[in-house]
Structure formats: C-alpha cells, structure tokens
Structure 1
C-alpha cells in the first residue's frame, strides 16, 4: 500500500472566499472602537492626545469604508491583490494611530495582529508572509519612533525599557504564532471540506450505480415475459415456414435476437428478479462485488470467507449499502495499487461482530505516517520511482479517507497497520508483508433487519 502523498494545491487558500462586505464590517467595528478609545482617554483619563491628527487618521478609514460600500457591490469577493491591499491599509492606518498615541505602550497595540491573522486564514502563503513581514517591520519602527503619551498637566507616561521590549517581542511572537496557527487550522479545514465533498460525490455515484442496478433488474424481470412470448412465437413460425426458407430464416433471426436480449438483460442485472438481493447479499458476494473492478489488474486476489470462533457455519447476509461497496472497493484498490503480486481479502464472523481484513505483499505504509492514515492530503511526497510503480495513481490519502469515512458511517471501525517489520530483509519478509486494513462491524449494524425478504407466498382464497 502507498507511501501517501499530498495535493499541495489544496493547502493554498482561496482569496476569493473573502467578501468585501466582511472586511468593511470589521473595519467599521475597528473605527467605532478607535473613536471610543480616543474619547474615553481624552475626556475621562485627561490624556493630552493630538486630537486633530488622530481624528484625521480615523477619518481616512471612514472615507475608505464609505467609498468601498457605495462604489462596489456588497457581494463582491476580493481578488488576492485587492484583499492584500485592503489588509495592508488596515495595518498602516492602525500603525499611524499608534504612532500618535504612545506606540507599543498603548494597550490597544495588540489589535495590529488582526490583519496578519486574517491574511493567514484567507490568503495565499506569499501574501500572508508579505503582510506578516510588513506588520513586524512597522511594529519594530513603532518601538523606537512614536509620540509619547502625556497627561494634560504635561506629565509624560513612560514605560520601562524592559517592558517596552517585552511588548514588542510579544507582538512579534503573536504575529508569527497566530499566523501559523490560523494558517494551519484554515488549511486543514479547507482540506477536510474538499475531502468530504469528494466522499459525498463518491457515495452519490455509488448510489446511482446501485439504483441503476435495481432498475435493470426490474427491467429484466418485466421484459422476461414479452421476450419469452417472442421466442415461442418465432419458434412456431420457423416450424410452420419450413417450405419458405427465406421467411424461416427471418423467424430464426427473431428468436436469436430475443435470446440475445435475454442474455444482455441477465448480464446487466446480475441480481435478476430477486428483490431481496438488491438490498442484501451473502458476505462473500458483497466482497466479490466490491473487489470485481480490480480482479483483472495483474494482481492475484485471494478471498477467504470463514466463520470465526463461535460463529455459525451459515454465512451471514449483509446490507448492500453503497457506502459498504464503495468503501471496500477503495480499500481493495489501494491494496492492488501497491501490491507486488498478491492481495488477500479475509472475512470472518462471530455471534456479535463481522470482520474484513485486507492484506497485500507490498512495501506497507510509511512508518512515520501510520498514525495519520485516514486523514486526507497527508503530507508525504513519494519518490519518483514510487510514482512510476503506481501506474499513475495519485496517492494523496484521499482514497483511504473516503473509504474510512463511508465505512464509519455504516458503524464500522477501521485499523491500519503493517504486516511485517520494515527492517526485515527481502528473504526474511513473510508472504503477507505489506499493509493491513481491518474493518470490523457489530453484526447488528450491517445485517438486514429481517431476512423475510418479500415474505412468504400467500395462497389466493375465496
């Protein structure tokens, strides 16, 4: 099984997720907060602020907001450049206001972290790094160049140099830490959203295939009688037209084509007219159906279905849910992709549980990724020779994530492991030396509620 890779483009955030209206509302909140802080400091704490320049800086933000609100539509989504410039203005505006009101000794200086954090959440890595460096540069300049806070009496409010350095260091660390933290969380959320969408699409496709199988089976059942009538009539005509060879050949052709239609419908609707088979099937049949698309890919599939300790000899019937079929199919595909020559699918059951184990003779899971198997887009880039050996398969961990998600929806519990010590030599490795996936269900979760199917035939009376 795979040394799993990653789709690096999935880690890049999309700037067009950011609506202009969202940033306008955030800026209005900042503007009202700035005006409130200036008013309280000037009126109630008797701090001598440069009101004119300070209000001019706040007025610039108001003007930009009004222009953005009236010129652009509210539903506008910003491009990468537009979002970067918008956040750059917010950093510059807050820096100018802090310059006029005490620099980093102003308790509201921590708000300068907001634009860089928003950038880490919504923009690409390059823009995020740019805004982070700009913020750190402006904070460093503020630490040395700013107008001191003074009381109306002329007394200057001084902060010890050690505290000033501590404020600067705390903000710089905040920019780096919050940026990395927000970036990581947003990236994982985005990757998980993409992976869940892929799982939903896979389930929808499997559901359509299942529904189509039911339609074909119903069609095969309904068309059986007309085709039998056509075959019988054409056979009688062929017998009666023994003295007309040309017409007899046409009747024989009609009978042959009726047989062909019957065979086509039978091959398309494997379940025939057995409605119960459309909803449930023996365990071995479900495994065969899941593994069938990968049976002719040059690897030997060994399927072994036996009762476990305490299990009855009769093979249980399980639900043919699309999640089960597609989930097992993904696991078998993963094993076939990375097996050298053989894949083993073992199934067993007891009175309380049902287990399916898939093992291959490939290299196994990378040891460093064992704890993360089942996460989408896990970060390991395979070597070039691995990519060649996998015949074009893109190992992003997405297939295993889809399988795990779908099977867990049916009540299953999945475990991933390696069958052999990776440090063994080729001669020491057992035949089953690759990756192991074990899927375990409580029997009540996967068995049909009733095995009565369509019920017993009721005799017609009266």
Structure 2
C-alpha cells in the first residue's frame, strides 16, 4: 500500500472512531450535572427558575439518549455527520438551558467550551469551525436575550454590564483559542500516529523480505548437494543409455531440469546474499544493498570510505537489520530524487564510531524547514516544483520520518545540513553543494563481530525438517 493511500484511508476511518456509547455516556454525565445544578439552585438558594422549561430542556437530552440506546447497537461507530449533529444538539440544548437561567450572568456559561473542545478532538476542521461559529453566535445571543435570575424575594441577580461584556469577550476568545489549540494538538497526534503506523508497515515489509532472503539462501545452500547428485547420476545414465534413444532423452530431461533448479535457486539466493551469515555483512555491502534499487535511475551514485580507515578487510562487519537497510534506502532515495547528477555515500569508522554521509549535488533542504526535518509532514498535495523534481513519488512526505525513526531505533543519530546556500548560484560541478545527511552509530550498537551484538562465527546451522 502506498503511503498516500495509507494516509487517505487513515483520515477517512478516523472520523468513525468514536462509539455512540461514548457520546451517550458523556451526555448522561451532562444530564446529571444539569439536574443537580437546577435542584441546588432552587432548593438551597431559592432561585426562581422556569422549572417546566428547564426540565423540558433536560428531558429532551434524556429522550435523545434513550432513543439512541434502544434503536442503535452499543458498538455503533458514529460517522462524521452523526458526530457533528450530536455535538450541535448538545451545544444548542446547553444554550437554551442557559437562556432560561440568566444567560452570561450564569457562571455555568463556561460550559459552552465543552462541545467546542470535543468537536476539535474528534471532528474535521470544517466541522470544528461550524461548531465554534455556532458557539460564538449562541454566546452573543445569550448576552442580550435571556430570562433574568430572581431570588426568592424577587431580587434580580445581575452582574454589571461591563462584566457581561467581559464574559462575552472571554468566551469568544476561549472558543477560538481552545478550539484552535485542541485542533492543533489533535492533528499533531494523528499525524504522528499515521506516520508511526506507516513506519511499522515499512519495517514489517523489510523484515519479511529479509527473512525470505535468508530462507531462500539457506534452501539454495542445502539443496545444492542433492541437485549435484541428480545431475551427476543423470549424466552417467545418459552415457549408459546410448543405444536407447527414448530413455536417454528422459535422462537428458532430468539433467536439464536439475540445471534449471540450480539456476533458479542461485538467482533467488542472490537476493538473500550467499554469505554464510545472513545476519551480518561488511559495512559497504550493506550500504550498497540499501542503495541498489535507486542506482539505475539516471543518477551517478559514488561509494567511498575513509582511506585512513585501513584496507578492505579491516572494514567493519555490521548487522543486516531491516531498520538499517530500509532507513538508509529512504535516505538514498531522497538524495537521488533531488540530485542533479551525482550522489555521494561516504563511510568513516573508528574504534568507537561508524558514520555514513549521504550527499547530493541538488538544491539542498529549504532553510525554513531544515530544523524540522524528520517530522511527519503529511501533505495532501505537493508544490509545483516538488512534483517536477519528484514526478514518480506522490507520498505523504514520510520518507525522512521513516528513515529517521528506523535508524534511531538501531541506535543511530541523524543530522541534516546543506553543503551550500540552496538559493545561491550553482557552484562548480562535483562540489558537495546539496543536502547532507549524516548518520552516526556508536560502533558497539551495530558491529557484528565485537560487543554486545556479536554474531557467532562458523558453519550455518542446517535446516531441520
């Protein structure tokens, strides 16, 4: 599944995450609170209220809850429109009840913020704006149109007009601020949730490919001897059946099919690396494996390593973890996408650290987002320039986030920088002028020969039947 498809499906499903039972429970809490407030106001403080209308307003909520309980199943998931209607109903019911009990003179007017906060957390931006606008309209009407609060002696309970105006301003600001704040936090949480889910899917896919490669390579190794025996035996039969053309033809067919099986296993085993220990490989071999899908896309990918690090056999052998391979592959993909002609992959290692630098000769990272690289930029569409530079990729902008998350899981630290000003004139060809991504591990985290992750040396274990 493409990342863009994943994001679209996740966004569509999220509006149906809220269960009807949850909304019913919240409404019961509100109903109990309203009944308690009305009872206390009348019996303890002796306020003269239009109890008939007040209980009618509360009764409407009770009837709505009972209808929902008896008509719909408890596990029903509310659609976006159904959620919106329930929140608007609660908002209007609360507004009507406040109009019967003093309007903005009633301190419980603060509860108008509740439905706005709920809508910002569970509804889309458009629905949240609608609920917020409705709340502001209701608050404005309550400041002018409401029944007065009277004591048992007939005294009017009313705060000065200046305070009424202040309450109105405060509620309008609170509706806007809390709605915006709640919406922003919710979007961030949902973005991170989608991005982490996409990361887990990518890692799961890479793990399956790695496991499959190991099984294929092991099968090729184990079946090599039986196939060689079949080939040898069929060859001897062909020599003995010189005078029997039909039987000799059958023996030739057996040998031909044995050769075919050998070729198939060799090709399949190549995907799993024919080394003895599939869990480890030289550093540059892992780097080349990660970059391999993108080296034939019209850009020159150059591999180099520190000449002072020693000869080839001194190159560290690292773990072939799916996190490392997939993370590096995403970084190389990003470099190839935006490079003009060349991508450089440099490796450096010491006794304590292993460092990779992936560089290109493109325009580099935009300075305004350089500090935010690695965040899950979930976008519905791309800018025109991005579509021109990356015509074959229309994802969610999760590539760098996935790479950063997976590589950090393996113990790496990532830094992002530019080789030059992206908006400056083009420098001399061959200069590292584009984006630079440095990936650095403590050596003991990924070294497959020393330290806590050392892989045992020797013969591979045979596959048990």
TM over 0.5: yes
> Aligned pair 1:193/2:179, yes or no?
no
Matched-pair contact (CA < 8 Å) for 1:307–1:350: no
Matched-pair contact (CA < 8 Å) for 1:13–1:124: no
Matched-pair contact (CA < 8 Å) for 2:143–2:164: yes
Within 2, Cα distance between the matches of 1:350 and 1:161? Answer: 75
TM-superposed deviation, 1:34: 0.9
Matched-pair contact (CA < 8 Å) for 1:98–1:109: yes
Hey, what does 2:116 align to over in structure 1?
116
- The alignment of Structure 1 onto Structure 2 pairs a total of residues equal to 452
Within 2, Cα distance between the matches of 1:312 and 1:352? Answer: 18
Q: Which has the higher contact order (CA 8 A, sep 6+)?
A: 1
Unaligned runs of 5+ in 1: 1-5, 458-462
Within 2, Cα distance between the matches of 1:151 and 1:430? Answer: 86
TM-superposed deviation, 1:427: 4.0
Matched-pair contact (CA < 8 Å) for 1:307–1:315: no
> Aligned pair 1:453/2:457, yes or no?
yes
Hey, what does 1:21 align to over in structure 2?
21
Instruction: Give per-residue Cα distances to partners, 1:347-383, cap 9 Å, x unaligned.
Output: 1111111111111111211211111111112569643
TM-superposed deviation, 1:125: 2.1
Hey, what does 1:352 align to over in structure 2?
352
Instruction: Give per-residue Cα distances to partners, 1:184-225, cap 9 Å, x unaligned.
Output: 111121121111111111111111111111111111111111
Matched-pair contact (CA < 8 Å) for 1:301–1:342: yes
Hey, what does 1:172 align to over in structure 2?
172
Hey, what does 1:152 align to over in structure 2?
152
Hey, what does 2:387 align to over in structure 1?
387
Hey, what does 1:334 align to over in structure 2?
334
Matched-pair contact (CA < 8 Å) for 2:276–2:460: no
Does the residue aligned with 2:159 lie in a helix, a strand or coil? coil
Instruction: Give per-residue Cα distances to partners, 1:44-82, cap 9 Å, x unaligned.
Output: 223222222212211111111111112211111222222
Q: CA RMSD in A?
A: 2.7
Instruction: Give per-residue Cα distances to partners, 1:138-190, cap 9 Å, x unaligned.
Output: 11000011112121111111211111111111111111111111111111211
Matched-pair contact (CA < 8 Å) for 2:213–2:273: no
Q: Could you say if the C-alpha distance between residues 309 and 174 of structure 1 is closer, same or farther in structure 2, counting changes exceeding 3 Å?
A: farther
Instruction: Give per-residue Cα distances to partners, 1:425-445, cap 9 Å, x unaligned.
Output: 124676321111111111111
Hey, what does 1:283 align to over in structure 2?
283
Hey, what does 1:436 align to over in structure 2?
436
Does the residue aligned with 2:16 lie in a helix, a strand or coil? helix
Unaligned runs of 5+ in 2: 1-5
Instruction: Give per-residue Cα distances to partners, 1:385-405, cap 9 Å, x unaligned.
Output: 431331221253211111111
Does the residue aligned with 1:269 lie in a helix, a strand or coil? helix
Q: Could you say if the C-alpha distance between residues 78 and 452 of structure 1 is closer, same or farther in structure 2, counting changes exceeding 3 Å?
A: closer
Q: Could you say if the C-alpha distance between residues 456 and 63 of structure 1 is closer, same or farther in structure 2, counting changes exceeding 3 Å?
A: closer
Hey, what does 2:3 align to over in structure 1?
none
Matched-pair contact (CA < 8 Å) for 1:374–1:397: no
Within 2, Cα distance between the matches of 1:49 and 1:125? Answer: 38
